Structure 1
Amino acid sequence: MSGPYRQPCDEGVLRTSGDCEGSARRKRYLILTACVLGSALVFIDGSVVAVALPVMRAQLPADVVQTQWIVNIYMLMLAAFTLLGGAGADRFGRKRAFLAGVAGFAAASIFCGLAPSANTLIAARALQGLAGAVLAPASLALIAATFPKAERGAAIGVWAGASALTTALGPVLGGWIVDVLSWRYIFYLNIPIALAALAAGAVFSGESRDEAARRLDWQGAALAVLALGALAFSLTRLGERSIGDLRAWAALALSLILAAAFLMREKNAPSPMMSLGIFSSLQFSALNALTLCLYAALSSAFLLLPFELTEARGLSAAAVGAVFLPFTLPMGFLSSVSGALQDRVGARLLLVAGPVLAALGFALLAAGRDWPLWAGVLAPMGVTGFGFALFVAPLTDGVIRAAPERHEGLASGVNNAASRIAGMIGVALAGALAAALGGFTGAYPWIMAGAAALTLVGAGFGWAGAGARQGK
């Protein structure tokens, strides 16, 4: 596999080998900067829109269903097309896919900001999700192709930490923009970030791709979109209505049939979007199962927490945003440390200890409804955040290491898709349980306890995945 840049000694006469190595290091970190900025677009728009939804709904205007799809269509497109985006990065080149994804995301953001109606905004959000599905796996694959194995864990830790910080800052910055300017400017904010990523990416010299990759599997992509769309409709309808809703169960059955058709297509396609052989690696399969457990737990827990804080504890919206800081700040500042620590102590300790700590945090949230805020919410959020900070970088690095080098884009795409699908399922199931138990606050301790149990199951997958033979 060719590297994403020419060797620095090929670009002119350097005086010493130290100059050569210094130039290579600077290029690596410039590429990392571009990847962080590009990925920030995807993560910011995954969190910032929620703050603006009430204003969007009033000004566009939008009904309840349209308001939900402003959020859901973005997640659906990310989940459905991330696999195709990863495969496309392997075939056409990770640099090319990354730059195209950044440019496409910026264009779709302008479309969002100018949207005159709710349906137009939904269409623009779909384009954002599609561009993000190209951008996100390409950024991770670029990092994997750029950094030597000895430095890769730390580099992915920086990427994970920056992603956590941008996700955390999204709602805070978005709320200020909505109050001072307009909801439309939360999308215009993406433009300077995209330009900075493109400027840093413009210095990439050389390309990284899978030379054996063939044409893209559009039929597989269509089946994935339909299967996930039916799943999203089914779970959302179950949450909104009763557990006996026949249309919801029919959509769920359809999603399972389409998922089976997708797997059959991928098994027999000459150039599948998702080569099923990649799952022959126990490490790869176990770590993706860990991803499903962790992000389903996190999304379901964090769906209910704001309702608990506002309805049961009487906090304001600004205070609720601040409550999330004990979770997001450790993620931002410690993820890079865990990436470097992995290079010293190995991944298994972090992939087990991290989920166990996160499970403890969820359990404390379930038990602490009658405790003071610092003991029942803030401290548990810090414990959960510290647990996630321990395993995010080793998990991402382990997934990429488990796949053959020619499939690094596909590997990151599968893992991104797993986290998005887990989030979608977690939110929908939490909503369905809340409907059955009479509201979000009634379901709160049960969801938190379930999140703790699911995260402990994930720790078992972390133990198995970290101990398995790597695929490379």
Structure 2
Amino acid sequence: MTGSEAVLSRPVGFPVRSRQGRRILVATVLGASIAGIDASVVTVALPDIGRDLGASFASLQWTVTGYTLSLASLILLAGGLGDRYGRRRIFLAGVAVFTLASVLCAAVPDVRTLVGARILQGVGGALMAPASMAILQSTIAPGDRPVAIGTWSGFAGIAGVLAPFAGGWLLSLGSWRWIFLINVPVAVVVLVVSLRHLPETRDEGSSGMDWGGSALAFAALAAATYALTVLPAEPTRPWGWGSAVVAVGAGAGFAWYERRTPSPMLPAAALGSRPFVAINVITFVIYGAFAVFSLMFTIALETVAGYSPAEAGSTMVPVTVLSLALSRLSGRLAARIGPGPQLTIGPVLCGTAALLALRVGPETGFWSVAIPLECVFGLGTATMVAPLTSVALSSLPGGHVGVASAVNNTVARTAGLVWVAGLPPLVGLTGDSYTQAGEFLPGYRLVCVVCAAAMFVSGAIAAAVRSAP
């Protein structure tokens, strides 16, 4: 059976070890990996992109936040599109859009066009991410799904480990543009395998799409991102204040609309559950601090410590390796003793790593400073992420695990968007400060302190969180 020969509304139950099961796993794993590769590589390449295109720090922020903006705004809607119109179809559309956008990123003449191409990449990523997981859930035999999902997560993590090395090597060839073309050969394989072997599935009971809610969410996030990026550096700029007003209005409109539409992307049960709201507030703080700290630390290693892109990227390896190695053990431990201790210890470890990052300077040792603090950070994330996700999924009443997962995923991505857009300009990182160590270092150190404080506070709050029975 090939993907184009049948449309299935129920799980077909292919074993992972079957030929068809392996093909499904290959397509979905590679699809998830190309987005992970891109995210890791772009962070390492930011200083090179800025110097080549003459970009300000705000423009570099938008090369990161532009992707996250469309991803965070559309991922909930994209999940519904897959359920209604076919997960294979939406997955293929996402891969195609992501690949086209990657080629555009490699060919852009200026930073504004790069930001536009990155926003288009985010659209592709939003279409791919929920569809790939939904395909596994609906086509793999129930008993094999934990293995399939574990494989999916593991290989996506490995792709994140390999990406900085590949990106650093490509940057050494002389142009950052090559990093966006890493995805193209992988995407071609995904498209060929998917077209030939993925069965189509959909949810025949899927209700209407929440187009209005999605539009309001996008408007609110886009306006808020622009205001946060512009106002700290230029507080008298009218467009900045206008964007802030639009963000507040669109956010209020979104809340009003979601309570009245028959097919909300954010169900009332989510807003009415105090444990669910609480854990997502914690998620917002923790993942926001994660995102901005990781970005600033990588740039500091290149700008202040003089690391090459490959060296700076390789410091991320301990975080991914420890997360892969310990995440299953962390989940089992949380199930045995409850999530509270790990939700306290994990953020404290990450906050400690952020304080250790204050040591970054012109003579920062790779093995004596960078790698040890990333090991502490990786140990913190491995301790915390599994129980945090578990609490988020179990805290919404009524068995709405899919909705809980989608909302928590969106909150985590939105956190990265808002923190990366807002915190750097608030601490004075504007203009071309990322190119001069003396100008970058004071703002970078303040970012480290703010992130550490946020993680410590999150750990204290999370100590009181308990998973739903």
TM range (shorter): 0.7 to 0.9
1:262 aligns with 2:254: yes
Q: Residue 34 of structure 2 corresponds to which residue in structure 1?
A: 41
1:75 aligns with 2:68: yes
1:423 aligns with one of 395, 416, 419: 416
Q: Residue 156 of structure 2 corresponds to which residue in structure 1?
A: 163
203 and 338 in structure 1: CA distance in 2 versus 1, 3 angstrom threshold: farther
Alpha-carbon offset, residue 130 of structure 1: 0.7
Q: Secondary structure at the match of 2:427?
A: helix
Residues 309-388 of structure 1 aligned to structure 2 (within 5 Å): 309-310=301-302, 312-339=304-331, 347-366=339-358, 373=365, 374=367, 376-388=369-381
Amino acid in the other structure paired with 2:357: L
Q: Equivalents in 1 of 2:149, 2:377: separation in Å?
A: 20
199 and 461 in structure 1: CA distance in 2 versus 1, 3 angstrom threshold: farther
Amino acid in the other structure paired with 2:166: L
Q: Give the total of aligned pairs.
A: 452
Give CA-to-partner distance per residue, 1:102-157, whole Å, 9 cap, x none: 23322333344454665554433322111111111233444555678987667655
TM-score of the superposed pair, with normalisation by structure 2: 0.80
Alpha-carbon offset, residue 300 of structure 1: 2.4
1:228 aligns with one of 212, 217, 221: 221
Instruction: Work out whether residues 13 and 141 of structure 2, in 8 Å CA contact, stay in contact via their aligned partners in 1.
Output: no
Share of identical aligned residues, percent? 35
Amino acid in the other structure paired with 1:355: P
Instruction: Work out whether residues 89 and 409 of structure 1, in 8 Å CA contact, stay in contact via their aligned partners in 2.
Output: no
TM-score of the superposed pair, with normalisation by structure 1: 0.79
Q: Residue 174 of structure 1 corresponds to which residue in structure 2?
A: 167
2:244 aligns with one of 252, 274, 297: 252
Q: Equivalents in 2 of 1:290, 1:150: separation in Å?
A: 33
Alpha-carbon offset, residue 391 of structure 1: 3.0
The more displaced of 131-140 and 64-73 is 64-73
Alpha-carbon offset, residue 375 of structure 1: 5.3
Give CA-to-partner distance per residue, 1:328-366, whole Å, 9 cap, x none: 332344335545666666655544443333233224334
183 and 349 in structure 1: CA distance in 2 versus 1, 3 angstrom threshold: same
1:87 aligns with one of 77, 80, 83: 80
Residues 178-327 of structure 1 aligned to structure 2 (within 5 Å): 178-180=171-173, 182-198=175-191, 201=194, 203-205=197-199, 207-209=201-203, 211-239=204-232, 241-242=233-234, 247-310=239-302, 312-327=304-319
Q: Residue 11 of structure 1 corresponds to which residue in structure 2?
A: none
Q: Equivalents in 1 of 2:356, 2:369: separation in Å?
A: 7
Q: Secondary structure at the match of 2:262?
A: coil
Where in structure 2 are there 5+ consecutive unaligned residues? 1-7, 431-437
Give CA-to-partner distance per residue, 1:13-45, whole Å, 9 cap, x none: xxxxxxxx6757x76665454333212222222
Q: Residue 390 of structure 1 corresponds to which residue in structure 2?
A: 383
Amino acid in the other structure paired with 2:442: G
Alpha-carbon offset, residue 85 of structure 1: 1.3
Amino acid in the other structure paired with 2:352: L
Q: Equivalents in 1 of 2:137, 2:459: separation in Å?
A: 25
Alpha-carbon offset, residue 260 of structure 1: 0.6
Q: Equivalents in 1 of 2:130, 2:317: separation in Å?
A: 27
Alpha-carbon offset, residue 66 of structure 1: 5.6
Alpha-carbon offset, residue 295 of structure 1: 1.3
314 and 174 in structure 1: CA distance in 2 versus 1, 3 angstrom threshold: closer
Instruction: Work out whether residues 41 and 194 of structure 1, in 8 Å CA contact, stay in contact via their aligned partners in 2.
Output: yes
Q: Residue 105 of structure 1 corresponds to which residue in structure 2?
A: 98
Q: Secondary structure at the match of 2:231?
A: helix
315 and 184 in structure 1: CA distance in 2 versus 1, 3 angstrom threshold: closer
Q: Equivalents in 1 of 2:261, 2:16: separation in Å?
A: 45
Where in structure 1 are there 5+ consecutive unaligned residues? 9-20
Q: Secondary structure at the match of 1:48?
A: helix
Alpha-carbon offset, residue 268 of structure 1: 1.0
Amino acid in the other structure paired with 1:278: A
Q: Residue 453 of structure 2 corresponds to which residue in structure 1?
A: 453
Alpha-carbon offset, residue 227 of structure 1: 0.9
Q: Equivalents in 2 of 1:411, 1:69: separation in Å?
A: 28
CA RMSD, 1 decimal: 3.9
